[in-house]
Homo-oligomer: A and B are copies of this chain.
Amino acid sequence: MSAEPREDPGVQRALVLGDGAWGTTIALLLAWRGIDTVLWSAFPEQTDELRRTRVNERFLPGIALPDNMSFSADPHSASEGIDFMVSVVPTQFLRSVAFRFEDALPGTLPLVTATKGLEIETLRRPTEILTEALGERPMCVLSGPSHAEEVAQKLPATVVAASTDEALAQRVQTALTSDTFRVYTLDDPIGAELGGALKNVIAIAAGISDGLELGDNAKSALVTRGVVEMARVAQTRGARKETLFGLAGIGDLITTCCSRHSRNRGLGEQIGRGRSLEEILEEQQSVAEGVWTTKALFGPDAELGGVSMPIAAEVHAVLFEGKDPREAVLDLMRRAPSAEMSGLA
């Protein structure tokens, strides 16, 4: 596919926090748009290697990093002269990283966050963590179905830029849009963030269905009904249900549930094949995020407020209460008859 010149990106110098696959890819998107882009790593040795090899061998192998991309592990020098920032720091490290940037960032700089998930201990969303660490600023949430590897190979992808600040959402849209990366604006950042977190729970359920070999109908049902649950919870937190029915909700969920690469779906599949969570945790260094999101959803601080989440509840019972996955599916099917969109405003 040939590329046509696009309008001016509206950004001079950008900073991307986090050199994982998705952080590196967002830095690539910006650099390809002609923006001088700094990719910040938490570890100086990784910065050195990126600078030397100009490829992120560890997280995004085989993709050349262009000349207008530079690398830093120092918050202050990384932040010099930037007029655009995207945080792609894993949620569980976001608070500590953000505090390191407290004195480095320009005081009025808006923040874009592309991290999915909730902070386990606090159930906080990334924008909440950033606000607590860096003060009230205009914020924008970037989310949607976007495996980094595909985006970095210039295969088409679509995401939302969600902000209550419409001008900021449009600025993010303009900065990142290309012939292979389409950005839609949206006014519901809470919905976008909750979609990115809650979908991991449903992805575990879809994986369990795969492990039990229940077929396409069952998996589609879990995804479709799972989004209704996600929308119910999100509504109680001030989000709009439409957001969960969009790219940041069901869109992301479809990619996660159909992908061989998703860690959440994969963990569910192992559970469905009869392994226990303990067995899986023993041999893995890090845990699929949906495990903790599931736990948090039914923990003492959950504040679910009586919202019905039957699929998530069964995932919780299977993961943490030793329930047989097959019995969990049967209990889902046997629930009292109901109307399709019950519990949604």
Q: Is the CB of B1 within 8 A of A326?
A: yes
Question: 1/0 per position for A162-185, CB-CB distance to B under 8 A?
Answer: 000000001001100101111111
Q: Is the CB of A217 within 8 A of B340?
A: no
- Nearest CB in chain B: distance from A211 CB, A: 14
Q: Does A82 contact B (CB under 8 A)?
A: no
Q: How far is the CA of A207 from the CA of B150 in the complex (A)?
A: 18
Q: Which of B184, B221, B326 contacts A247 (CB 8 A)?
A: B221
Q: Is the CB of B340 within 8 A of A155?
A: no
Question: 1/0 per position for A326-345, CB-CB distance to B under 8 A?
Answer: 11011011110111110010
Q: How far is the CA of A184 from the CA of B224 in the complex (A)?
A: 12
Interface size class of A (residues with CB under 8 A): 35 or more
Q: Does A157 contact B (CB under 8 A)?
A: yes
Q: Is the CB of A246 within 8 A of B158?
A: no
Q: How far is the CA of A313 from the CA of B194 in the complex (A)?
A: 33
Given A147-B216, A184-B339, A186-B340; A223-B246 close (CB under 8 Å)? no
Q: Does A245 contact B (CB under 8 A)?
A: yes
Q: How far is the CA of A174 from the CA of B247 in the complex (A)?
A: 35
- Nearest CB in chain B: distance from A130 CB, A: 23
Chain B: CB-nearest residue to A145: B220
Question: 1/0 per position for A217-260, CB-CB distance to B under 8 A?
Answer: 11111011101100000000000001101110011101100110
Q: Does A64 contact B (CB under 8 A)?
A: no
Q: Which of B246, B337, B340 contacts A340 (CB 8 A)?
A: B246
Q: Which of B4, B150, B184, B223 contacts A338 (CB 8 A)?
A: B184
